[in-house]
Every structure is written in C-alpha cells, then in structure tokens.
A and B are shown apart, each in its own frame.
Chain A
Amino acid sequence: MGLFSTLHDNSTSNLPRSALAEFQQVLQPNQIILDEMGRRAYETDAFTAYKVMPLAVLLPSSTQEVADITAIAHRFDIPIIPRGAGTSLAGGAIPIETAIVLCLSRMNKILDINTTNRSAKVQAGVTNLAISDAVSDQGFFYAPDPSSQLACTIAGNIAMNSGGAHCLKYGVTTHNLMGVTLVTSEGEILEFGGDYLDPAGYDFLSLIVGSEGGLGIVTEATVMLRPKAEGARPLLLGFETHEEAGDCVAAIIGDGITPVAIEFMDRPAIKVCEDFAQAGYPLDVEALLLIEVEGAPLEIDESLQKIIRTASQFNPVHKRLAKSDEEAAAIWLGRKSAFGAIGRISEYLCMDGVIPLSKLSSVLAKINEICASHKLDVANIFHAGDGNMHPLILYDANKPGIIEIVEKCGAEILELCVLAGGCITGEHGVGLEKRDLMPLQFNEMDLVNQMRIKQLFDPKWLLNPDKVFPIEISKVFQEEGSLASLRDET
C-alpha cells in the first residue's frame, strides 16, 4: 500500500475530512502523511520523554504551499506544529493531539550564495552544516554550530536562536541572520530584513528569532557568511578541582583573550567521552577545559602562550596541545558526540541553564549537591566561555516515577541558575520542557508583554500553541487579555 492510499484511509486520523480535502487541493499526495505508522515518526523530537501523535503531517516544498496550509488551518482552527529536523532538546516540535505537523524538511535548497554580500539565501529546511559545506570551497562558513548541526535545520535554529561551541566568538543565530521570509498564522507571506545589515523600522527579526515557531513559520532565510580562519588548534587543560577550572575560564576571558570556544567537562563526562572517541582525554582530573583558538600558526602560538600563562595560576595538572589536524578532530569529536556517548550508557535529561562566569565553580558545586539529594548522577559538559551549562542528569528509565524526580531535580538546577543571575535556557529554547519554569525568570508583566506579541501575530494561538508560556498563564491571558485574575487568586 503506497502513501496515496492513506489519503483514502483516514480511519486512523481525526483530521476533519473537509480540512483534509482542502489540504489535498494544495499538496501532492506524497506531501500528506495520515497513516499511523507515518505519523509516529513525528510524535516527538529529541526530548523523547513525551510523545503525542499529530492529526497529520504535511510536507510543503515552497513558501506558497506553507502559506496555503497555514491559511486552511487558520480557517479550520487547526493548530500547527512547525518542525525542522526534530532535533529540539526542549520538545519544541512535539505535537499536541489536535494539531498537524508542518515539516520543512523538503524545503532544503540553497537558493543563492553571494560572497560579495557575504550572505547565503536558503530555504529554511536546509541543514545547518549544509550551508558551511556549500561555501567552504570559497573560504567561508556559517558560524552557529549546534552539536546537531549535521541534522538540524536553519528553521529550527531560527526558532530556538541556536548557538553552539563556537558562538563565544561568533555569536548565536540572532547575530548571524540578516533576513527571513515568514508565513503568518493567517497565511500571509512577509519579508523581514534582506541581504543588508540592520533593517529599517522596528527590528522584527529579533522577535522572530527565538520565538519557537509561535509568531510565524520561517520558510526562507538570508544568513551571514564569515571568512574561515586560517587555522585552529584546541588545547586541553586538566584541573584537580572544578573551582580551579571555573576560575581559569573567568581569568582567560578577563585577560582580553577571546578564544573561539571554551568547553568544560567534569570527570564523569570525560570518562564517557574518552571511551567513545578515544580522544586522549586525561582520566585522572576532575575538570577538563577544551580551549580553541584560531588564526595563522604564529597567531595561534601567541594566543596559546598567553592562555597557558594565565592558566598556570590555577594549577593545571594536565596540558596537551593538538599536534595535528587529526588530533584536533579527535578532541572535538569527543566533545561534539558527548550527548550521544552519554546516551549510550544511560537515559539523561539535558539542562541548558546559563550563569554569570564568576559563579561557575559555586554553581557547579551546588548542581552536584542538588543531584546527590535526589540520588541522581550528573555529568557536566558545557560552553564555559559564555556560562552556558549543560548538566546531564542521568537516570534509569525503568524506575517507576523517576521522570518526575528528574524533572524536579532539573527545575531546581535552573532555579539555581536564575538565582545566580542567569537564565533557564541559553540555546535549546523553552519548548515544552521548560514552559512551566518561565515564572522563575519572568514576572507577570514580563510574560504579559511577551504574550501580547504572540497574540498580535497569532490571535488564535494556533502556531506551536502550548510552548514557551505556562499553560495556565497563557490560557488566562487568552481569555482575559491580562493575568489580573491569577493575581487575585494569589
């Protein structure tokens, strides 16, 4: 039985027949998935703790098709879950039961590369790494580099304002995006920005980036290209305490050096990554810093000398410079495949809090205390240069009630990050995972000012509706236009 026959076999989907008929008018049969098996592939993303089957999955191949789908969904009041490659660690692409998934994976063309402008225009379903691959021969790259860059799409990167290890120097998605084509909840096609810097009027691009698909569906993007460095070399520094490693990071940044990346791993993470990648990580240290600098060989030497001089105040017990490209690649392979490597030995919940650098060592100590209090193990791997922590809380999924305990532990860690002056998410987004934790960081007025924007762009709250904002709060807001009644109750 081919895909076409599923169109006539709607028994497994509750998508209204009249809506389906309209979708069939604008899409080819192979762009509509209705059968249960097909839809199951879209019931979750990389936040696998939750799964919800959507009514249908639609696979548009053009901006116009996205606009048509959105207009139909708007007429039928059907929520839309936009999806790129489904790599969200925050459940940003997890459906709700009444929704269709609009997956951009077929919009994967690079439309234009303009090295004079140092920009590339792409369809939003193109993968992050595909852009760098396409311009590499010409000496350019696209800077944000989430660990999932081989699979994740620009659409998802824009939705979540994704970062990566190298954004310490080059910034996150919002710093590398020049323009987008956006389809509104009513199916209108709007252009924001373009292939020039700093848009006219209000900076709508800044709102669209990081809005988690809640303000519109980005179908095309113009991204900034940067010239590739002449070379890069990672340095490994091992420490006997987290405190020394944390203080070393702050000292390096404060010393006027901006490495491309400063990554941190604690002992449990080092062990797992070394087992996986055979990168030559030292196994007898409590903390490992992976520091990368760029430039010509003489510039790299100069920067590394300065870093090593600064680091020497913090008693590094292990110091190793990559001596070849292969060795450098192995060092990065260990770090980049860390989540996957840890996933081989245990289920985990990956946190994404950010803290001020000066609080690094004290927060790390408290994270370990919190996890110990819940009798949970934790591995810490994170972007230390910008304080973006990724504690991985390890758990045995077969234990009854464990998910609730892990989530409670995670919430306590994120509360700790906020109290330290940081935030609940640095690059993964809020999604489903952290929506109920938003009040840790924002008060009523902060949230109301954000939700008014959602209301303006998406008056029916059809686009990724149950993400970002706590359900109870967003429901009250949708009904009353304020949160006054919640305040009265408290």
Chain B
Amino acid sequence: MMQDMLTPLVDSEIKDMILEANDQNKKLEILGHGTKRSIGHIAPDSVPVSMRRLSEIRLYEPAELVISARAGTPIVEIERAIKAYDQQLPFEYLDFSHIFGTEQGWGTIASLFTTNFSGSRRILKGSARDHLIGVEAVNGRGELFKSGGRVMKNVAGYDLTKFMANSWGTLAVLTNVTMKLIPKAPTECTLFIYGLSEDIALEALRTAVSTPYEISGATHLSRTHAFPCLEGVSYVRDKSVTAIRIENTAKSIDYRSEKIKDLLSAFGDIYYIDEQESRLFWENMRQLIFLTGHNDAIWRISTSPHLAYHSAVKIKKLVDCDVSYDWAGGLLWVTTRGVFDMGSSDIRRIVAHAGGHATLIRPSLEAVHHVSPFHPLDPAHMKLSKNIKGTFDPNGVLNPERMYEGI
C-alpha cells in the first residue's frame, strides 16, 4: 500500500524528513512528477516524498545562458521562460509518456539530471550532466550541501555537481539545480536516406559526423521503428530511415546540407526535410514515438560506435528484436519480443564484451520475470558504489535499491 505522500516546501523540511527517516528506520522515495517511476526498483514500504512544491525559477540570466531553479520546477515552465529569449535546453530530454502510457507534459527539472537521459543532440552538445553547473542538496544524513554554482567554469574542489547526475536520488535529494542553456538555432533541416541496411547506414552516419558540419542528430531507424516516427513527416513510412540533422542559420544549413549531400551521394537518394518536418521528426524522436505501438521490451544501450553493428548482429542472432541507432551508432534502441528474460542475458553479455551498458527502459508488457533495469556492475565498481552510497546515505534512506541491490 502506498504511504501518505510528504510534500516539503523548503530545504529544512527535507532535512527534517531525512533525519526522522534515519531515526525511525524509514525509507524515502524521492519523486518529481514520477515520469520515470517505472524505471528501477521502488522499495515497497518507502514513504513517497514529492518535490513538486519546490517549484520556482530563482535566477535566469539570458545574457549568461544560465538558469537556476528549484528541483521540482516543471520542465515546461523552464522551457516557457527560456523560449522567450530564443534559448533552449542543450540536450533533448526524453519523454517517456508514450511508452509508459502516462500523461504528457510532465517532468521536473531535477529529474532530468538525476536520470541523465539525453537525446539525439547529445553527440554534438553533450549530455544533461555536462550542462549541470550547480546543485544544492540534502544527503541521506540530512546534511545540506552545495556544489558548483552559476558559472560554467568552476574547478574548486571535487565536482559533486556532476556526480549527482545519474544517481537516481540515491545519494542526495537535489533541492536546487543550476544549468547552462544554449541559444536556439535559427533554423534546421534534416537529410533522409531511405532503405539503407544497418551497416551502410552507420557508415553514412559516421561519415557525416566526422565532417566539420556540426551534425546534431545522426540516427538510423529500422523499418518497424521508422513507421510511427515518420507520421506527418514523410509519405514514405515503410522503409528504414537514416536521418542527419543540421542546425544553424539558414545560410549555413543551405551550405552544409549541400556539402553533406555531395559527400553521401553514393549512399542513395538523399531527401531534404525542411524545418517544420525536421522539428516534428526530432520531437518524435525525443518522445520515443519510434518505440510505440507494441508491447515489446525496450532496451537503451550505450556502446562503442565502431562495435555497434557487430553487437547488433550478434544480438539479432539470439534474440527476436528490432534495432535502431542514435548518436551515429553510439546508442542502440532495441525492442525485444517474447523472450524468457527479454534478451537480457544475451544483450548484456554482448554489450559488456563490446564495452558499454544496457538499460531495460521498459520490460515487455507481458513479462513475468523480473529483470534488473540497470546494467550489472563489475565487483570492483559495485563495491565502490556501495561505499559511496554509504558515504552519502549510510542508512540507505534515499531511494534504496532503486538502481542496484544494496545501493
């Protein structure tokens, strides 16, 4: 049974809750809007703590491209504020609402960083973590601390700011985050090539991202994955699609798209997708539309681009699945069907061999067996991770076992 939700308003209340949880041997589940609650383990007896009331943009300096907000500030509110100055979040945060069947438009700013899921632009502009420049937080001991600040360059002391990224609220409760923004590109276009096989597509993407043309999206969707993602974008929907995005001024993208077209002409017919459709396509990517329309398990795999295709071939031999690629091959999205463990053991073995890690974003909707969502750590990293958890949260009060057993 879900316990009554705690709804702190100020940092000191969070501190008191944590101290009380330590005293009374309680566990706390730290929640934003709960948009990623389906990922990872939730301790059944934990008390939910909603960060929703910590909602305020505390500082926005458009001339410095810096914004600072309380942890529970809705992302849409941040986006609204920065849009007025033609600025944007540097990375595309993933919207899981379609694949989890939850309401759209939710998500808090802190959760972008604690989960560190970055979308297609990550290859050019970096991850969510890369743009987090300051945090205020309360650790599992109930201690308030801060790290970083509001300036981009800051090497004073250990970088606890970026260390909070991808920690899933298991080390500390972030109460305030400060991040760097980027100017919104004046316009964009995308080049499509239809029907390429995976190995050829990856070669095309590799070629594109090795140019000086600042490719901000380099994706190959399988035929199955392309179909829902191309709705409203392209009349051709029954083929795989290889997509290359260029963002800049109109003059620049004209120049760069011609250069890329020349360079990739041997790969097949290249279709120029103009701004409106281009924006729709990448918004569909951000919303993971390409992973909808089925009950399959969904895997997100970060790996070495040069081994991505070989890994995919091996996985396909053993598991009934579809594979798509982002980050010019550095990220694989794999949907697996009807397998006892959703392909977990094969996928994780193959990925570990190539270098990287596989996260089970969503189990098959028919799954009967539990599979850990996060890639297992080797013994040395597990030991270190447990020790770090013990350093920040010795009694395991914060999101216990959300990521790994004992963490």
Contact = CB atoms under 8 A, between A and B. Distances in A.
A446 B163 contact: no
Given A358-B61, A456-B391, A114 B212 contact: no
B226 interface: no
B61 A356 contact: yes
A380 B146 CA distance: 30
Given A171-B130, A211-B158, A357-B64, A139 B384 contact: no
B166 A118 contact: no
Contacts of A211: 158
Interface string A422-436: 111111111000100
Interface stretch (B27-35, B94-102, B372-380): B372-380
B143 A175 contact: no
Contact of B385 (A201, A355, A450): A201
Given A200-B377, A201-B403, A253-B63, A299 B255 contact: yes
B66 interface: yes
A228 B149 contact: no
B306 A250 contact: no
A194 B381 CA distance: 14
A147 to B, nearest CB: 14
Interface string A354-379: 11111000000000000000000000
A456 B384 CA distance: 9
Interface stretch (B37-45, B121-129, B279-287, B313-321): B121-129
Contacts of A204: 163, 381, 384
Contacts of A230: 212
B63 A251 contact: yes
A140 B206 CA distance: 13
B239 interface: no
Interface centre among A200, A355, A448, by most chain B C-beta atoms within 10 angstroms, is A200
Contact of B306 (A114, A188, A203): A114
B145 A210 contact: no
A116 B354 CA distance: 14
Interface centre among B66, B374, B388, by most chain A C-beta atoms within 10 angstroms, is B388
B155 A229 contact: no
Given A161-B155, A387-B151, A445-B145, A203 B212 contact: no
Given A299-B252, A426-B155, A456-B388, A196 B210 contact: no
A357 B62 CA distance: 11
A256 B356 CA distance: 35
Nearest to B403: A201
B303 interface: yes
Interface string A463-478: 0000010000000000
A203 B381 CA distance: 11
Contacts of A254: 62-65, 85
A447 interface: yes
Given A118-B210, A253-B63, A257-B183, A422 B149 contact: yes
A175 to B, nearest CB: 5
B305 interface: yes
Interface residues of B, number: 81
A290 B33 CA distance: 45
Contacts of A302: 249, 251-252
A302 B403 CA distance: 48
A167 interface: yes
A134 to B, nearest CB: 16
Contact of B212 (A160, A228, A441, A450): A228
A354 B392 CA distance: 28
Given A198-B116, A202-B166, A449-B139, A163 B210 contact: no
B129 A456 contact: no
A436 to B, nearest CB: 12
Task: Classify the secondary structure of A's interface with B.
Answer: loop
A278 interface: no
B162 interface: yes
B255 A206 contact: no
Interface string A200-222: 11111011011100010000000
A441 B151 CA distance: 13
A173 B403 CA distance: 28
Contact of A202 (B87, B126, B163): B163
A139 B157 contact: no
Contacts of B293: none
B384 A198 contact: no
B378 to A, nearest CB: 9
B136 to A, nearest CB: 10
Interface string A15-59: 000000000000000000000000000000000000000000000
Interface string A131-170: 0000000011000000000000000000011010001000
B20 interface: no
A227 interface: yes
Contacts of B304: 114, 117, 194-196
B406 interface: no
Contacts of A429: 155
B16 interface: no
A296 interface: yes
Contacts of B251: 298-299, 302
Nearest to A424: B156
Interface centre among A140, A174, A383, A443, by most chain B C-beta atoms within 10 angstroms, is A174
A79 to B, nearest CB: 19
Interface string B144-166: 11110111111111111111011
B9 interface: no
A2 B128 CA distance: 54
B158 A210 contact: yes
Contacts of B385: 201-202
A254 B63 CA distance: 4
B299 interface: no
A296 B255 contact: yes
A426 B151 contact: yes
B336 interface: no
Contacts of B357: 196, 199-200
B216 to A, nearest CB: 13
A448 B143 contact: yes
Nearest to B129: A203
Contact of B147 (A114, A355, A446): A446
A202 B160 CA distance: 11
A266 to B, nearest CB: 20
Contact of B66 (A198, A228, A356): A356
A203 B380 contact: no
A190 interface: yes
B327 interface: yes
B159 A209 contact: yes
Interface string B363-401: 000000000001101001100110110011000000000
Contacts of B171: 202
B167 interface: yes
B118 A198 contact: yes
B343 interface: no
B209 A421 contact: no
A425 B155 contact: yes
Contact of B143 (A174, A197, A445): A445
A196 B355 contact: yes
A483 to B, nearest CB: 11
A423 B152 CA distance: 10
B234 interface: no
Interface centre among A203, A250, A428, A434, by most chain B C-beta atoms within 10 angstroms, is A203
A404 to B, nearest CB: 23
B182 interface: yes
B156 A434 contact: yes
Given A202-B167, A449-B143, 14 more contacts: A114-B306, A116-B206, A160-B155, A196-B303, A203-B166, A210-B158, A230-B212, A256-B186, A357-B61, A387-B153, A423-B149, A448-B145, A449-B392, A453-B391
8 contacts: A174-B159, A175-B130, A190-B381, A202-B166, A206-B161, A388-B153, A450-B158, A453-B158
Across the A-B interface, give the 6 residue pairs with the lowest CB-CB distance, nearest first.
Answer: A254-B63, A256-B183, A206-B162, A426-B153, A200-B357, A116-B306
